[in-house]
Structure 1
Amino acid sequence: MSQQPLKNRHAVITGGGGGIGAAIAERLSALGASVSLLGRDLAKLERQHARMPHAFAAVCDVTDGSAVSHAFAAAVERFGPVSVLVNNAGAAPSAAFAKTSRETWDEVMAVNLTGAFLCAQAALPGMQAAGWGRIVNVASTAGLKGYPYVSAYVAAKHGLVGLTRALALEVARSGVTVNAVCPGFTDTDLVGRAVEAIAAKTGREPEAAKAALAASNPQGRLVEPAEVAAAVAWLCLPESAAVNGAAIPVAGGEVG
């Protein structure tokens, strides 16, 4: 296998300013891809762009169809048609179901599910025209099982896995694959905020709250962003063409 199997491929990563998205961006770049980073947080994007000066970076709210269209047009102008799309942008506020507002529900659906829909619609025509493409949706174990106090997030991630499976069948003969990776609790800012929320609501020390999340993994630890990035990168390889419509857990055995 070539050491740069994604050379001359253009990869767009949403939520690319930190955590899992940044790890994916660095991994795909190491495999030869030209990388475009999209995200809402300008400061995080700038920090990651400083680490990857040859990448393209653009502020983009994936819930805004016009913003997505403009960001993709700018990325295509820089690096050419999109060959790889990683839908990584996500949000996971915590609340009991009875206290989950309609505003929170709509926002969680928009970021985790509608954003992936809009970005896939922006990227897919170019992939189909080229006869080659990879769409990888970063879902969650919450797309494969339930968790309490994050009902909107669980519903959105189940929807993202469903979208993955449906779209994979539609494009199966086009040279494009659509898959999902489903990380368990991962050592990112998102989980850090969850730890803070648990500590605030329960009075536990942050380390105890973090340990409780890690305990859901049979390996007794949080997943590392680089481990998720490795799974995403494998799905993007040319020789992974037969893997389509899969939802792959990266969770130490928490789900099968």
Structure 2
Amino acid sequence: MEEVKLDLSGKNIVIIGGFGGIGFETCKLLIQKGVANLMILHKTWNESASKELRSIDAAGVCQYMEFDLTCGLEKTRQVFAQIMEKFGSIDVLINGAGICDEQDFSIIIAVNFTGTINTTLVAYDLMDKSRGGKGGVVVNISSVAALTPFPVLPVYSATKGGILNFTRALAHLEPKTGITLYSICPGITDTKHWEQVRHFQGRELCFKEKMRGRPFSTQTPMACAANVVKAIEAHKNGVTWMCDLGQLKLVEIKNFWTPPHHRQEHEQQDEQQQNQENEQS
């Protein structure tokens, strides 16, 4: 089967966390790809980042709305309704915001897990072909901590692992909804994200100090963003991407349990295959 690539030109894109390190570099690349509209949802305004984006945004496609991922489901619906009024449709949602300071684990869960679920489900309802939408793409930025949990960041690792499985589950509905979903797991990247890690289990702990003396390689936000865009253009439903040390690759996640109805299908297939082999022998 011929692979279908996603042409980003002319697309309406919403990116959450677009003023962050990886998100900001992703925004620059999306503008260069010729998107029709790019809505940045971020908790706070960033004048310097906005100025840099405007300098390359000759077509004026980039817009900003204040958005706090902890605002709840109803407020999220209201924000996305405003975007629909502006754009008419949303082609791609990129959930790129996240925090990793474990001083208050409830905030990590609210932002990384609950907030991302809320934005995904709201966009999902708007895109769903079975509900009158035209389909679309949801890109959830997870972390390599979802693949191999970080001992110093247990709650962060749990939220990112949760989002990965949440995304994989929804991706199974793509034939009905027309919505492509997948996760992208960046490795450790040189952003403020990691510099702000200060607390773990009630005591002061700097992540960089913890890792000092150990092999500790990172990547630039620009290198990571380039691979994020490559993954989006590859347009593969239900997969898990890892972008680490400037490299992009697919990660195979094995299923260790088969649902009962799938077991019956497999048993029927095995029986048919056995019957065919018996007829040939």
Equivalent residue, structure 2, for 1:76: 84
Equivalent residue, structure 2, for 1:133: 136
The code of the aligned residue for 2:49 comes to Q
Residue aligned with 2:94, SS: strand
Q: Following superposition of structure 1 onto structure 2, how do residues 1-256 of structure 1 map, counting pairs within 5 Å? A: 5-33=7-35, 34-42=37-45, 44=46, 46-53=47-54, 54=60, 55-64=62-71, 65-94=73-102, 104-129=104-129, 130-194=133-197, 201=204, 209=209, 212=212, 215-216=215-216, 221-237=217-233, 240-241=234-235, 243-252=236-245
**Alignment deviations for residues 118-140 of structure 1 (CA, whole Å, 9 cap, x no partner):** 11122123322444311111100
Distance in 1 between the 2:113 and 2:149 partners?
A: 17
Q: Larger radius of gyration, structure 1 or 2?
A: 2
Q: What is the Cα-based RMSD across aligned positions, in Å?
A: 2.8
Contact 1:180 1:248 in 2 (8 A): yes
The code of the aligned residue for 1:78 comes to K
Question: Could you tell me the TM-score, scaled by structure 1's length?
Answer: 0.79
Q: How far is 1:197 from its partner?
A: 6.6
Distance in 2 between the 1:227 and 1:245 partners?
A: 23
The code of the aligned residue for 1:145 comes to T
Contact 1:181 1:249 in 2 (8 A): yes
Q: How far is 1:78 from its partner?
A: 2.3
Q: How far is 1:210 from its partner?
A: 9.3
Distance in 1 between the 2:136 and 2:164 partners?
A: 18
Distance in 2 between the 1:139 and 1:112 partners?
A: 9
Aligned-pair identity in percent equals 27
**Alignment deviations for residues 59-85 of structure 1 (CA, whole Å, 9 cap, x no partner):** 111122233223222222222211100
Contact 2:224 2:244 in 1 (8 A): no
Distance in 1 between the 2:82 and 2:52 partners?
A: 20
Distance in 1 between the 2:195 and 2:176 partners?
A: 41
Question: Could you tell me the TM-score, scaled by structure 2's length?
Answer: 0.72
Residue aligned with 1:152, SS: helix
Q: How far is 1:109 from its partner?
A: 1.1
The code of the aligned residue for 2:67 comes to C
Distance in 2 between the 1:132 and 1:212 partners?
A: 46
Contact 2:102 2:108 in 1 (8 A): no
Q: Which moved more, 1:224-233 or 1:82-91?
A: 224-233
The code of the aligned residue for 2:220 comes to E
Distance in 2 between the 1:214 and 1:115 partners?
A: 33
Unaligned regions of 5+ residues in structure 1, if any? 96-103
Contact 1:185 1:214 in 2 (8 A): no
Distance in 2 between the 1:173 and 1:230 partners?
A: 31
Residue aligned with 1:52, SS: helix
> Aligned in 2, Cα 1:136/1:212: closer, same or farther, shift over 3 Å?
farther
Contact 1:183 1:250 in 2 (8 A): yes
> Aligned in 2, Cα 1:30/1:231: closer, same or farther, shift over 3 Å?
same
Aligned length: 230
Unaligned regions of 5+ residues in structure 2, if any? 1-5, 55-59, 252-281
Distance in 1 between the 2:194 and 2:169 partners?
A: 29
**Alignment deviations for residues 67-119 of structure 1 (CA, whole Å, 9 cap, x no partner):** 32232222222222111001111110146xxxxxxxx2221111001111111
> Aligned in 2, Cα 1:215/1:75: closer, same or farther, shift over 3 Å?
farther
**Alignment deviations for residues 24-63 of structure 1 (CA, whole Å, 9 cap, x no partner):** 1121221122110011122x2x433323343110111112
Contact 1:181 1:232 in 2 (8 A): yes
